[in-house]
Each structure stands twice: as structure tokens, then as C-alpha cells.
Amino acid sequence: MSILKDWKIHVAAFIIVVICELIGAHKVQMGPGVLLFLPMLYAMVLGGIVSWPRLKIINLQEMNAASTVLSLTTFILVAKLGLIIGPSLVKVVQSGLALSLQELGHFLGTVILGLPLAIFLGLGREAIGATFSIDREPNIAIIAEKYGMDSPEGRGVMSVYICGTLFGAVWLGLLAGYLAALNLFHPYALAMGAGVGSGSMMAAASGAIIAVFPENKNEILMYAGASNLLTTIIGIYFCLFVSLPLTERLYKILTPIIGKNQANPKTHGGVAK
Amino acid sequence: MKTGETVLVLLLMGVMIVVGNTIGYHYPITDAMIGYLMIMAVTLIGMGLAKIMPIKLPMVFWISLIALLATSPISPYAGLITAYTNKVDFLALITPILAYAGLSVGKDLVMFKKMSWRIVIVALTVYTGTFVCATAVAQLMLKLEGII
């Protein structure tokens, strides 16, 4: 029972959960929208502070244990979503066309916005690994197999992976809450958008959407869950056969047009060696 | 991870989820406990299936399938399972998940410090892109189909 030996991590998590739920949700008006601060966001931030290496509260082994627990808990999340979708299976199938096509938005959305920006900022082939997908574990595997982790593409995918671990859920939670409060999009559309293919990011985004539209809670979870499931399951094939080749081609087309610092390879690369 | 260990960790999670659920969302604690045990059972069955099935599909697939079947109209216990699992709030589930995510952050900070500010901006744009583009397509399609 090695995982229970790292009891400190579980005690810390428990205390964090209690504190965060006691604080509860808060809204802050910002321009036309609302920034939502939900218990889950404090939990991530508090956890981050506790695990700050300089504070020496928890050690590396305990952080790894937290990581293992994290992957198990996302399975609980998947089960909960499945249980929510079950009763409205027919309704989900009825929106099948919208659900399927919005997946294109998920898969290509990373490239459309990310790749031109990455090239503009002067990234080299890191840009390919960084933007071909949302860069979670399965996507890392694709890059590792094709280019190796020591390649620029490998560094790109790892960098975005780390940023996702550090800020992904918090960022999507704030972004989704803000967009929802703007009332530009229907809650169902936002819910489908929330299914980005990462359990914690999807959870944070849909949690924020629910906080804005509490009356549509079950539909939001249903569509977010279905969309996330689709992204996760077909994601690996889509990324391998469509997104990655497309990103490669676009990189070759765009780099001569908007790329800068081409003469100085040192400025390429997101991660210093 | 061994099965016994998995069960223990999931039980431990359950304590946190049920306590958070009671503090933050005020559901009756016994109902939530039964609800959580049901969610946990579905998870474990799905994980088990992924191991023994001859077709190799991700664990997420099997867990979803079992969960979907458990509450779909074909399940004789759908009503019961839905009633209890609804007592475990989705948001109560996320708080511990993100707490653990936060607690594992420290190990990635060393790598993060070596990264340039440019890649951070790119990363946030990538996450924004997938969310916003999918939402926009979904909005358009749902409108065209007359669902919204």
C-alpha cells in the first residue's frame, strides 16, 4: 500500500477541499463579463502553493503519488459523466451531428489559433509539437513515437503539456465562465466546447458554465461529457492522421511568411536546454 | 497499481468528495455515500473490463460504457442509480481532483522555469483555440438543426 504511505498528501488534499468548499463560489465583475471563482480553482492554487518546492512541505515522491491519485480520480469523473448521460442517451444521439462536427473545432482549434502565433513569436519546429493538439498524454505519445522526445517537436509538446498541468484547468475555468457570462453562446454550445479531451480541464470549464446557467446543469454536463468522450476516444486517431500532418504542412507554408528570426536558430525553441 | 490499492485510494477520495459535497452543496450525507459507492463500482467494473477484454480500448471507453448502460433506459435500476448518484454534485467531485492536481504541480515547476514566456502564451492560446472553435461550431450546428 505504498500510496497510503504518502499520507501527507491525502491529509493536505482533505484540508484543502474542506477550506475551499467553506469559502464557496464568488463572482467578480470584469468588463462585460464575470470572472467566476469556484472552490475547484482555489483547490488548484492552494495545492500548488503547498507543493511549491521551496516550502519543502511535500517531497517529490509525494508529488508523484498525487499525480497517480489524479489519474485515478479522473476515472471517477468519467464514470459520473457516463451516469449523467445515460438517461438522456436519446437526446445526445439527436444532437449527434452538432456533437460530431464540433469535434472538428476541438481538433483544429488548437492549430488555427496556436500555430500562427507560435510561428510569429519565433518558435521553430517546437511550434508543431506545441500546437497540433491540446498536448495531453496520448498526444505526447504520438510525438514521442514520430520525432522522439529530444526533438524540437518533443520539447514543444512537453512545454505545452506542463503549461496545461499548471494552468490548463484554471485558465479554462476562468475563460469558460467569462464567455458564458457574456451570453454570446448558448449553454449547450459552450458545454460541447468544454469537452476539450482532458478530464480536469473539461471539469473546470463545465463547472464554470454550470455556475452561470445553473438551470441547465444536467444538459451542460451531458453535452460536455459526451463531447469530452468523443474527443478522448477519436482524438488519438484524428491527431495522428489529420492534425499532425496538417500542422506540419501549415508550418512549412506559414514560416516563410510570418516567421521571424530565421537567421538566428538560438532564438528558436521554447525550452532552453 | 494493484487492485486493493486502487480500491483504497478510491475510498479515500470518496471521503473527501462526500465531505466536500456536504459542506458545499448540502446533500444528505448517507445518500451521497451510497451514490459515491455506485460511481466507484462503475469505475472499478470498467477498469476490470479494460483489463480482461480481448479488444484493446482505452479504460475511459469501458468506464463510460458501463456508466451509460447503468442509467440508460435499458437498465432496470436506472432510476435508483440516477437518484443516488445525483446526490453527489459534479462540482464536489472536481474540487479534490484539482486539489491533487495542484499538489502534483511542484514537480513540474523545475521544467517550467526553463521555458520561455512565448511558449506559455502559445499554450494558453492552444487551450483557448480548442474551446472557442468547438463552441462556435457547436453553436452554428445547434442553430442549423433547430435544437437551440
Q: Report the pLDDT value the prediction gives residue A266, as an integer from 0 to 100.
A: 45
Cα of B30 to nearest chain A Cα, Å: 18
Q: Report the pLDDT value the prediction gives residue A233, as an integer from 0 to 100.
A: 86
Q: Report the pLDDT value the prediction gives residue A268, as an integer from 0 to 100.
A: 46
Contact: B112, A53; criterion CB under 8 Å: no
Amino acid B109 reads L
Rounded to two decimals, the ipTM of the complex is 0.94
| Residues near A163 by beta carbon (within 8 Å), at least 6 away in sequence | B112, B115, B119, B120, B123, B124
Q: Report the pLDDT value the prediction gives residue A262, as an integer from 0 to 100.
A: 53
Q: Is the pLDDT of residue A5 over 90?
A: no
What is the secondary structure of B10-66 as a DSSP string? HHHHHHHHHHHHHHHH---HHHHHHHHHHHHHHHHHHHHHHHH-SS---HHHHHHHH
Across the A/B interface, how many CB contacts are shorter than 8 Å? 427
**What digits encode the pLDDT tens for the residues A20-40?**
999 999 999 998 889 999 999
Residue carrying the nine cell digits 514560416: A255
Q: To the nearest whole percent, how much of chain B has pLDDT over 90?
A: 87
**What digits encode the pLDDT tens for the residues B19-63?**
999 999 999 999 999 999 999 999 999 999 999 999 888 899 999
pTM (predicted TM-score) = 0.91
Q: Report the pLDDT value the prediction gives residue B2, as an integer from 0 to 100.
A: 84
Instruction: State the Cα–Cα distance between residues A190 and A187, nearest whole angstrom.
Output: 5
Residues of A in contact with B56 (CB under 8 A): none
Question: What's the mean pLDDT in A177-204?
Answer: 96
Q: In degrees, to the nearest 5, what angle opens at C-alpha A51 toward C-alphas A48 and A56?
A: 145
**What digits encode the pLDDT tens for the residues B55-75?**
888 899 999 999 999 999 999
Residues of A in contact with B69 (CB under 8 A): 86
Q: Report the pLDDT value the prediction gives residue A263, as an integer from 0 to 100.
A: 43
Provide the β-strand partners of residue A30: A33
Nearest to A70 by CA among A18, A9, A15: A9
Q: Report the pLDDT value the prediction gives residue A264, as an integer from 0 to 100.
A: 45
Question: What's the mean pLDDT in A48-61?
Answer: 92
Nearest to B141 among A10, A53, A101 (CB): A101
Contact: A47, B103; criterion CB under 8 Å: yes
